[in-house]
Amino acid sequence: MIAILPNIPNNVAAFEASGTVTETDFENVVFPTVEQKVKVYNELNYLLYLNTGIEDFTFKAWLQDLLLGIKNLTKWNRCAIVTDNNKVQNFTEIFSVLMPGEFKSFPKHKLESAISWCANGEEKNI
């Protein structure tokens, strides 16, 4: 399941993934929110808090995630992935070289720093 994170700056599309994540989560939650943010801000600041394992994303969910990236290729500004999974953190750092915009991983205890960085490019020292 993907839910919108509450109390986030308006210029950030922020989500929490928990349990099993399916293509319907992207279609009903992620895509409409991202579309609205890009329309208003003409860029995409995206935060994903992974409160589930990457193995809990269905194959079709991964395809939807790929589609999200391609569809908004020129709009990516900042993307924060919040997880304690070292493999995902390393992948995010490598992926940042391939995509336009800035991509950064944060451990879960640094969620507030991730939100701040995603919204304005500056991390809070918490």
List, for residues 65-76, the tens digit of each pLDDT value: 666 666 766 788
- Per-residue pLDDT at 39: 95
Amino acid at 111: L
CB atoms within 10 A of CB 30: 22
Closest by CA position to 120, among listed 8, 5, 3, 7: 8
Q: Is residue 85 over pLDDT 70?
A: yes
pTM of the shown model: 0.85
Average pLDDT of the residues in 23-49 = 93
Query: Could you tell me where the DSSP H helices lie in 7-122?
Result: 23-25, 31-41, 59-71, 86-98, 111-120
pLDDT interval class at 88 (50, 70, 90): low
Q: Is residue 26 over pLDDT 60?
A: yes
- Per-residue pLDDT at 40: 97
pLDDT interval class at 23 (50, 70, 90): confident
